[in-house]
Amino acid sequence: MAVEGGMRCVKFLLYVLLLAFCACAVGLIAVGVVVQLDLNGTLTQGATARTLLPVVIIAVGAFLFLVAFVGCCGTCKENYCLMITFAIFLSLIMLVEVAVAIAGYVFREKVVSEVNKDFQEQMRNYHQNSTNTLLDKLQKKFKCCGAVNYTDWEKILAKDQVPDSCCVNVTVGCGTGFNVHLIYTQGCVEEIGTWLRKNVLLVAGIALGIAFVEVLGVVFACCLAKSIRSGYEVM
């Protein structure tokens, strides 16, 4: 009876963890979508490591939700095969999350370097409508001007001229013959880089936190599977 009672407790805790996994899965999908939307408005398009990161996050979230469903079915029906399948897949998800967290931390500076390169390229194409809109949006959002600083625009536009989006109070023509005290002087690359570093570390921390909870899920699933295989009644 002691083992039976213990397995009942494990089964209850596993239900709680499965509910938490479903919530984490939805959270990962939401984070991935938000990061993807932000990167779409910050970086150029292309299948690179930086643009694939949110796709990986979304895929892991969706897979985690599916695995949680398998775990729920296995726990409810006390099916040994489903519980082992759940434990294996959950272990794989945990490894992917840890890998993503480590990669995000290691390559965070490289991402900033890529932002710098992309921003410089977009500045050179500023007179194209789509690029014009994107850079204006970025400069307003991050309260910045140019890549390194506002003087970068001298190479693109006329001297003593910056886009109106560089102005603290944006009005039509405010960037022509500007007063340096009335525009943002700091560069956008550093501002965007600070934002990216902060969010990469946040995502990495969340991924590691979820991975820790998943370790408990794997342990409980293995305990329950062992009990099921031994023929104990845990309903």
For the stretch 9-28, pLDDT in tens is 888 888 888 998 888 888 88
Q: How confident is the model at residue 223 (pLDDT cuts 50, 70, 90)?
A: confident
The residue with greater pLDDT, 191 or 45, is 191
pTM passes above 0.85: no
Which pLDDT belongs to residue 129?
Answer: 66
pLDDT over threshold 50, residue 234: no
The identity of residue 30, as a single letter, is A
Assign 88 a pLDDT band (cuts: 50, 70, 90).
very high
Res 94: pLDDT:
86
Q: How does residue 3 score in pLDDT terms, banded at 50, 70 and 90?
A: very low
**pLDDT higher at 5 or 108:** 108
Predicted pLDDT of residue 144: 93
Are the CB atoms for 11 and 58 separated by under 8 Å? no
Determine the pLDDT at residue 43. 52
- Copy the structure tokens of residue 32: 């991935």
- Residue 210 pLDDT: 79
Half-sphere exposure (Cβ direction) of 116: Cα atoms closer than 13 Å: 12
Q: What is the pLDDT of residues 30-76, one digit of tens each?
A: 888 887 776 665 555 554 555 677 787 788 889 889 999 999 998 88
Using H for helix, E for strand and C for coil, what is the string for 163-208? CHHHECCCCCCCCECCCHHHECCECHHHHHHHHHHHHHHHHHHHHH
Statement: residue 187 has pLDDT above 70: yes
